[in-house]
Structure 1
Amino acid sequence: MITTALRVLALLGASLAAPFASADGTSDYSVLIISRERLEVATNCEIGIYLNDQLSARLFQEQSTSFNLPPGTVDVRLRLLPGQVAGCSAGLENQRNQRLTLSSGQINKYRIAMNQDGLYLTRVGLGY
C-alpha cells in the first residue's frame, strides 16, 4: 500500500515537472486548407490533390481538407479522378504543379478553380 502511494506521488511530481502544451508559442508546422466549396469546377468528378506527387486527398463538391505540413515549399497538383462517378474517365491532363511556400505557424486557405488550362488553386481569406 505504501509503495503504491509513493508511485502515485512520484507520477504526480513528474507530471508537474513536465512542460504543459500551449498554443501560444511558435509552431513548427503550417496549415494548408484546400476547399471545393463553390461551383467553380463544373464537374461531378472527384478531384485528387497530390502533394509532392503523392495522392494526399480526394474531394467531391462542397468538401474541404486540411494538412499540417512542415514550413517550406510544397508542390500541389490537382487532377480529376476516374471511377467514382459515371462519366469520369482517365484521360490526358495537364501535369503542371503549383508551388506553394508555407511559413511556420501560418494558416493558408485555397479554393479549387478551373480555367482553359485546367484545375488550379486560388488563395482566399480565412473568413473566420
Structure 2
Amino acid sequence: MRRLLLPLLAVSLHAAAENAPYAPVNTPGAFDYGVVMVTRDRLEVSTSCEIGLYVQDRLAARLYQGQSVSFNLPPGETLIRLGIVGQGACNSGFEQYNQETITLRAGEIRKYRIAANTAGLYLVPASL
C-alpha cells in the first residue's frame, strides 16, 4: 500500500508545482522595491526611551536598545525621521523635525544604524 501512495503523491505535487504561478528572479519587475534596514545598537544612543522611526512622516516603528527593523520601500526618494517617543520622562514635548532623504533603487538593500549628537538623532550607513 505504501508503494502506491508515494508515486501518486509525487505525481500530484509535481502537477501542482507546474501549475503554480511564479516570478523568476531575472525577469524585469521581479524586484519593484528596495529594502532599508535600521538598527539601534545598545551603546550608540544613551537613552532607555524608545526611538520612533517615521517613514514619510508616519510612525512606522518603535525601537528599543538592540532592536532592528526593515522595510520594503518603493524605488525613489523616501523621507525618514527619528524621534524619542514614550511616556513619562521620555515625553519631553519636543519633536525632532530633521528629516533625511533616502534614495533607493529597485532591488537595493541598505543598512543603517541610529546615532545621536547634539543636533539630535540621525542615521549612519552600516555594512551589511
TM-score (norm 2): 0.79
Task: Call closer, same or farther: CA 1:96–1:20 in 2, change over 3 Å.
Answer: same
Q: Which runs of 5+ in 1 are unaligned?
A: 1-11
1:66 and 2:100 correspond: no
What's 1:32 paired with? 36
Q: Distance in 2 between matches of 1:50 and 1:24?
A: 33
What's 1:46 paired with? 50
Q: Which runs of 5+ in 2 are unaligned?
A: 1-13
TM-score (norm 1): 0.79
What's 2:18 paired with? 16
Q: Distance in 2 between matches of 1:69 and 1:94?
A: 23
Letter in 2 for 1:106: E
Q: Distance in 1 between matches of 2:16 and 2:122?
A: 50
Aligned length: 116
Computed over aligned residues only, the root mean square deviation of the Cα atoms, in angstroms, reads 2.4
What's 1:6 paired with? none
Further displaced range: 13-22 or 25-34:
13-22
> What is the CA-CA distance between 1:37 and the residue it aligns to?
1.9
Q: Distance in 2 between matches of 1:59 and 1:30?
A: 21
What's 1:110 paired with? 112
Find the residue that maps to 1:87 and give its secondary structure: helix
Further displaced range: 22-31 or 48-57:
22-31
Letter in 1 for 2:93: G
Identity %: 47
Q: How does 1:84-123 map to 2 (within 5 A)?
A: 87-123=89-125
Q: Distance in 1 between matches of 2:21 and 2:95?
A: 50
Task: Call closer, same or farther: CA 1:19–1:94 in 2, change over 3 Å.
Answer: closer
Once superposed, which parts of structure 1, at least 4 consecutive aligned residues long, lie more than 3 Å away?
12-15, 21-26
